[in-house]
Structure 1
Amino acid sequence: MHKKSSQSSTSYEILKRCGEGSYGVVHKARHPITKRIVAIKTVQAPKNGYPRSCLREVYLLKRMNHVNLPKLYDVICEDRQVHIVMEYFDMDLYSYMKQSGRPGMTLGHIKLCSSKSFLHQILSGLEYCHSHGIIHRDLKPQNLLIRMNGRLCITDFGLSRPFGIPLRAYTPKIATLRYKAPELLLSRHCCFYSLGVDMWGVGCILAEMMLLHPLFSPTSELDQLLSIFKMFGTPNASLWPGYPRMDFYNVHYPVWSKKDLRQCFLKRSGFDMSLTTMHLLELMMVYDPGDRITAKQAMLHPFFYDDETILVWE
């Protein structure tokens, strides 16, 4: 998993508890000698070995090196616990949106400083992952960490996995429900999917940055699926050739027409979406995963180049 560290978890001064998720508890800590501020994610190991999600996250963090992905400093295994020592960030995107609200994320801020910069950084980190054969599979604002200088990193690779060609069938039981792509919702056990599941998640995040609340708030997988149909129109074989072959395809789903996204966003939040913003969002949320825009293509979209500046972090 990792060569034995010369450090101990007690070498670090714990400053505060930052949060707790399905895969571990995160603390803010400081190294007593270097004074480096770090985040320590502690995962409890069961008797039968280390959790697969933990092993996978460490493996992927070790092999990745990109400005929009967190640095891995150390891995400490002791007392049936794994302590993953990583770069520390001030907050996640969810907290940023919640704390700043519309006064902090005005139309000008969203398009020039926050959403545009954040979106480009998400895409940059994701393009690196995809070009190195990694699907994240759980993109959401809580898994996007931000520093005070505006630098963003994609984190939490517990559900991520390497992929190869030809593609294998994977479990659809991934991703947080409100960011889950339709091909996952329509699959029963194993299914073939690829990078499009991440791009659907990015589309949901872009919409949330504009609305300041999630695009979908489902109570179940069926509710999420029908909410998508209501927003983007009920799919058919011409829109999505593979749709009739999906496990949960049903000819009795209600037939809705696609909504005018610009009017919908204006009504829900007062946000007047530009045509280029609407176009990019629609490309990210195409039904057919094979036609969905890639991270590399999205970074070249006119959205980033109409009279505004992209902030690039060195």
Structure 2
Amino acid sequence: MFSFFKSKKNPADSTETPVSPDVESESKPEESISFAAKLKQGLARTRQNLGKQLSGLFGGGKIDEALYEELETILLTSDIGVSATQQLLENLRKQVKRDVLTDSAQLKEALKESLIAMLEPLAQPLDTTTHKPFVIMITGVNGVGKTTSIGKLAKYFQTEGKSVLLAAGDTFRAAAREQLIAWGERNNVTVIAPDSDPDKKGDPAAVIFDAVNSAKARGIDIVLADTAGRLTTQLHLMEEIKKVKRVVAKAMPNAPHEVLLVLDANTGQNAITQVKAFDEALGVTGLILTKLDGTAKGGVVAAIAGQYPENPPALRFIGVGEGVDDLRPFDARQFVDALFD
């Protein structure tokens, strides 16, 4: 039922699979820059949208209600969201009163620090040392970049010295299987996938069940399990993914140990709806926010934080480019600095 794919092939394993054109090419060595610089570059559209307006507002002048109203409009149109905007304005008013600020030019740094304080609870690094194998289930709606994120995560964990196994649990989309196999070949990682026969798509829960057992037998550190994309309104598919999670727990108690929801930054406020729906179905433990380099809606990070002021979800990773190394752990101060500077 299942196929094992390895980058170093034995004729008995499988036929050679070409790299899918859907898999992004790695950055060229001469283009290599620090992630802080890459983040600033990736957030250029958001910074241009937000920063340009704030520069005009904070150019000097009286701090009054008109300024607060204009700032509110700027934050809302930058996809920061109603809840986060209200929290930021409330914090600014308190700081203005406490520090006796009188000139609007003083508000830029105050806003930055308030935004960092709001986002820092999201910056919770993922600890994969608690179980072996550590099973990570990847989910999300169609087209957000789940499979690509898995390939990049595999590379990231390998740089940490971890061994990785991939499970091609998106059995409904043939391209997803091929794309994951291509990532496995690139990273020299074994991929457990369903039969390539389109008439034998296979059960996604069974694929991941088999992958977990294989990882246990081989002493693998991390299992990254892909799942089929689904809309939050497709209730039958949401029920199916609950089944996948239950079956994984049968292969290994308490697994999956992490349920990562992949969000496309381009969706803006709709990301909040996705977080709520998938959390209700699966108990989401962490988020991956992709495609920040292609949108002016980077403020959605604050919107997520503002929606959960008491118990914010962990924003584990953000993606700011097409390179294999462009998915990195979220750092609140680094993110805000890239937004403003």
Instruction: Provide TM-score, normalisation by structure 2.
Output: 0.23
Instruction: Provide TM-score, normalisation by structure 1.
Output: 0.24
The structure with the largest helix share of the pair is: 2
Higher normalized contact order (CA 8 Å, seq sep 6+, divided by chain length): 2
The structure with the largest strand share of the pair is: 1
Computing the radius of gyration from Cα coordinates, the structure with the larger value is 2
